[in-house]
Structure 1
Amino acid sequence: MPSQPCRNLTEDLVLIQELAHQCSFYADHGPAQPWLDLFTDDGEWSIPASGIYVRGKENLRLLIDTIHTMVRNVHHMQSNFITAIDGDRATASCEVNSFINTEDGPQPLDQGLYHYTFQRIHGQWYIVSRAKESPANLKTVLNGPHTALLVPYFDRLVDLFGQTTRPQLPRAKKPCL
């Protein structure tokens, strides 16, 4: 079926970015259920360079519970979105800067890119996948000033979700800009 012409492009862009912002907000502050509700049933969250791929609501629930238990006081700030919409599918990339609140105030934690895929289902946008790309070597981040927090967290993610291959997900093909 051919793609529908772009309708309400501005509204879709706002809704898609809001969905991405909600993903970070609920990951940082909770609660878990609104975060889970942002994803499709087979939604995926990944850090490909670390071999971490989480897919499906049951695994996403385990992930968000791990995040909320092991990584407190972190703030993810997304900016500079580039979004392509093709009918009921969309992709977006944005910059992400992570900070951690410490006794000395907010401290930089990590910087990178998020790559999202979205799907509109019955008029509502959902996250199909969110992948984190970090220009820094993960070992550099893990050997930084927040090692005591990050090493156990990433070790747990690898234990729970580490894989050697990534399942293929369809991507939007004809961007509507």
Structure 2
Amino acid sequence: MDADARAALDLLLTERDITRLVHEYCHGIDKRDEARFLAVWSEDAVWQVGADTVFRGQEGILAAAQQQWDTFRQMHHWSANLVLSVDPGEDRATGESDVDITVEMGDGSWVRGGGAYRDTYVREHGRWAIGRRESVGHFHLYGESADIR
């Protein structure tokens, strides 16, 4: 395999691995799977969920997720429109995706919202991870209860 083919293959595998991170984040947070959720984050990751709300490191990020799990009866995240910027041969990439979120509050009411994730990904110990995730452009729609048939 020549150098151009190797570079193209590395780029495709990188994009596949990072895309999977974006989806694993949703599965981990929604299914309350600590191991799955933590596996997407780098060791010193930063999760900025609001202008003044930032969680640092895997312990801080897990504590924030556990607080959400205690607050919401259920959560559903859907990420779409992922656009990646990868510099071939680098251990860093960036991406942006849109997110749609639906949560059931403790009183049974529902909140639907969305926004975007702006991410920085890092390759550490041979695997890709989210190094920084910033949530931006939030909106929320509040409802009473849902009867979906």
Given the two structures, how large is their TM-score scaled by the length of structure 2? Answer: 0.78
Please report how far the alpha carbon of residue 33 of structure 1 lies from its aligned counterpart in structure 2 after TM superposition. 2.2
Cα deviation 1:98-127 (Å, max 9, x = unaligned): 12369xxxx660021111111011321011
CA contact (8 A) 1:28 1:72 kept: no
Long gaps (5+) in structure 1: 147-177
Matched residues in 1 for 2:66 and 2:20: separation? 22
1:1-177 alignment, distance < 5 Å: 7-49=9-51, 51-86=52-87, 87-100=90-103, 109-136=112-139, 141=140, 144-145=142-143
Gaps of 5+ in 2: 1-6, 145-149
State the alpha-carbon separation in 2 of the partners of residues 56 and 10 from structure 1.
28
What's the secondary structure of 2:20's corresponding residue? Answer: helix
Structure 2 counterpart of 1:82, one-letter code? V
Q: How far has the Cα of 1:134 moved from its partner?
A: 2.1
**Partner residue in 1 for 2:147:** none
Give distance in 2, aligned partners of 1:17 and 1:98.
18
Q: Given residue 74 of structure 1, which amino acid in structure 2 is its aligned partner?
A: M
1 CA distance for matches of 2:73 and 2:31? 8
Structure of greater relative contact order (alpha carbons < 8 Å, 6+ residues apart) = 1
Q: Which has the higher strand share?
A: 2
Give the Cα separation in 2 of the matches to 1:68 and 1:48: 18
- Counterpart secondary structure, 1:15: helix
Equivalent pair of 2:72/2:103 in contact (CA under 8 Å) = no
Q: Which amino acid aligns with 1:75?
A: H
Which one-letter code corresponds to 2:92 in the other structure? R
Give the C-alpha shift of residue 95 in structure 1. 0.7
Contact 2:46–2:133 (Cα < 8 Å) also in 1: yes
